[in-house]
Structures are given as structure tokens and as C-alpha cells.
């Protein structure tokens, strides 16, 4: 596999995470608990869509063969997506949404800093643009973790349940796929080991402040990076890709 193909495949890892999580939290638009947080979460969704668009544009240029940002987002099937299982998990309630967001935001924030070390100038540009947004996302979700965990008895129990249930999806963030390993060895991708240590330190600090117990479970789900997904992703793609598949190439 040549360097251009490694870069293309690695970009799909990055873009798919942002796209699918962006689509997931977009489901909250108009349904947030209060107007301010409805708008905040919708803006985070737009940030993630913007990042995925920048990534797919670069990937499409590398791939050629009439690929576009839209074809990469809307015309690939479930098995072709490389996002981690965490980001495709359903919202369920506000606590689950916040917890999923916090786990990913922490990873995403440190990932952008690692990508600044990439030998690929375009990846550095994309990461540099996303850093300020990811910093805000992490601040926002961290504050909500603390608010729910150190709030009422009910809010504490709900966020603790979310942490307990979603914890098993966090390990995959740091289990490198073959492409991620090749990308790192080529100087293109991030060092997941560096991110793992920083992630655990930040997560522990926030959960301690929120009086939330860290699960002791050491079993972690995996497979998303290799196209093996939960049943949830199919439903996400069915809704997200509907218009493009019914009206191929449609433009406003």
C-alpha cells in the first residue's frame, strides 16, 4: 500500500468519526432540554460536519476517480465506514448524549494536537483549524458531566448509568487499526499511545470532580475501525443518506 492510499484510508478514519457523531447529535436539534443547550449542541454538530467536510475534500482529491466529499459521505455503505463504535451509539437521553460527547471530545482534543505533528501539511491545516472548536467542545461537555454528576440524585444516577454503559466503547479509541499503525509509522498519523495517557488523566479528573465512579470493567468493544459496526449505524446512514440515494447528484 503506497503512502497516498494510506493517507486516504486514514482520512476516512478521521472524517467518519466526526460525520457520524455530528449526525447523531443533530438529532437533538429542536429537542434540547433548554433553548441555549439546544443551540449549543446543534453548533457542535455543525463544527463536526465542517471538519468532516474538510477531511473528505482532501480524501477525494487523493482518490480521484470522480470521488467527491458528497460521495464519500453519502454513497458508501455500512461496511465501508471506519468510525469507532462509540460515536454511533444512540442518544437514549441527555445524560447518554453528554457522556458520549465527553468521552469523544477528550479524545478528539488531544488527537488534534497530535495531528499537528503530521508530516502531511494538509492534515496539519485541518487539525489547526479544528483545535479551537474541539477545545470548546471539551469544555462544554466537561461542564455538563460535572453538572449532572454533582447535581441531583436523579441526574447523578443517570450520568453514572451512562458512564457504566458507554465505558466499554472507549477502549477502541486507542486500539490502532492496521491503517492507523501504517499512518503513524509513515509520519502521517497520530500516536494513540500518547493520546491514551492524556485521555485517561483528563477523564479521571472530570469524573472525580463530578463524583462519578470509573467502571472497573476492562472489556472493550471493537470492530468499527474495520467496518464491523453495531446495528445502530445502519439506521443513522439510512436517514443521513436518504436524499442523495433517492435523488443522486441532486443540487439546490
Determine contact, residues 206/146, Cβ cutoff 8 Å: yes
Q: Could you tell me the residue range of the domain that residue 88 belongs to?
A: 3-246
Residues 82-93, mean pLDDT to the nearest whole number:
97
pLDDT tier, 252 (very low <50, low <70, confident <90, very high otherwise): low
Query: Alpha-carbon distance 159 to 106, whole Å?
Result: 17
* DSSP assignment string, 133-190: HHHHHHHHHHHHHHHHHTS-HHHHHHHHHHHHHHGGGTGGGGS--HHHHHHHHTTSS-
Residue 153, in any domain of the structure: yes
Residue 37, in any domain of the structure: yes
* Domain CATH number, residue 55: 1.20.1260.10
Nearest to 89 by CA among 147, 158, 24: 24
Q: In this predicted model, what pLDDT tens digit does every residue of 196-238 receive, in sequence order?
A: 999 999 999 999 999 999 999 889 999 999 999 999 999 999 9
Determine contact, residues 114/188, Cβ cutoff 8 Å: no
Residue 75, in any domain of the structure: yes
Tell whether the model's pLDDT for residue 29 goes beyond 90. no
Determine contact, residues 81/227, Cβ cutoff 8 Å: yes
Query: Alpha-carbon distance 245 to 241, whole Å?
Result: 6
Number of structural domains (the chain) is 1
Q: In this predicted model, what pLDDT tens digit does every residue of 154-188 receive, in sequence order?
A: 999 999 999 999 999 999 999 999 999 999 999 99
The answer to pTM > 0.85 is yes
Residue with cell 447535581: 151
Residue 106, in any domain of the structure: yes
Average pLDDT value over all residues in the chain: 94
Nine-digit cell string for 166: 458507554
Give every CB contact of residue 68 below 8 A, 6+ residues apart in sequence: 56, 60
Residue 251, in any domain of the structure: no
Residues 37-63, mean pLDDT to the nearest whole number:
93
Residue 108, in any domain of the structure: yes
Query: Alpha-carbon distance 68 to 29, whole Å?
Result: 27
Residue 97 burial (CB count, 10 A): 22
Residue 177 burial (CB count, 10 A): 20
Query: Alpha-carbon distance 144 to 134, whole Å?
Result: 15
Q: Residue 244: what pLDDT?
A: 87
Determine contact, residues 232/88, Cβ cutoff 8 Å: yes
Query: Alpha-carbon distance 10 to 215, whole Å?
Result: 31
Residue 117, in any domain of the structure: yes
Give every CB contact of residue 91 below 8 A, 6+ residues apart in sequence: 24, 25, 27, 28, 97
Residue 252, in any domain of the structure: no
Query: Alpha-carbon distance 42 to 241, whole Å?
Result: 19
pLDDT tier, 124 (very low <50, low <70, confident <90, very high otherwise): very high
Q: What phi-psi label fits residue 89: left (phi over 0), alpha (psi between -120 and 50 degrees) or beta?
A: beta
Q: Residue 218: what pLDDT?
A: 85
Q: Residue 34: what pLDDT?
A: 74
Amino acid at each position: 500500500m503506497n503512502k497516498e492510499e494510506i493517507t486516504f484510508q486514514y482520512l476516512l478514519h478521521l472524517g467518519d468519526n466526526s460525520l457520524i457523531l455530528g449526525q447523531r447529535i443533530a438529532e437533538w436539534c429542536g429537542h434540547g432540554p433548554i433553548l441555549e443547550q439546544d443551540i449549543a449542541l446543534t453548533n457542535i454538530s455543525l463544527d463536526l460536519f465542517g471538519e468532516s467536510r474538510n477531511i473528505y475534500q482532501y480524501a477525494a482529491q487523493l482518490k480521484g476517480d470522480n470521488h467527491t466529499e458528497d460521495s464519500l459521505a453519502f454513497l458508501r455503505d455500512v461496511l465501508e465506514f471506519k468510525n469507532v463504535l462509540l460515536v454511533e451509539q444512540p442518544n437514549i437521553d441527555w445524560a447518554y448524549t453528554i457522556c458520549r460527547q465527553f468521552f469523544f471530545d477528550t479524545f478528539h482534543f488531544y488527537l488534534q494536537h497530535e495531528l499537528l505533528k503530521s508530516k502531511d501539511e494538509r492534515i496539519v491545516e485541518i487539525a489547526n483549524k479544528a483545535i479551537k472548536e474541539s477545545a470548546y467542545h471539551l469544555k462544554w461537555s466537561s461542564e455538563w458531566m460535572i453538572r449532572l454528576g454533582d447535581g441531583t440524585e436523579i441526574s447523578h444516577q443517570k450520568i453514572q448509568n451512562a458512564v457504566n454503559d458507554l465505558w466499554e466503547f472507549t477502549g477502541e479509541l486507542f486500539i490502532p487499526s492496521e491503517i492507523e499503525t501504517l499512518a503513524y509509522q509513515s509520519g502521517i498519523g497520530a500516536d494513540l499511545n500518547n493520546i491514551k495517557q492524556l485521555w485517561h488523566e483528563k477523564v479521571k479528573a472530570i469524573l472525580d470532580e463530578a463524583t462519578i465512579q470509573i467502571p472497573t470493567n476492562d472489556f472493550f468493544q471493537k470492530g468499527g475501525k474495520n467496518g464491523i459496526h453495531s446495528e445502530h449505524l445502519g439506521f443513522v446512514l439510512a436517514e443521513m443518506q436518504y436524499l442523495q440515494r433517492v435523488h443522486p447528484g441532486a443540487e439546490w
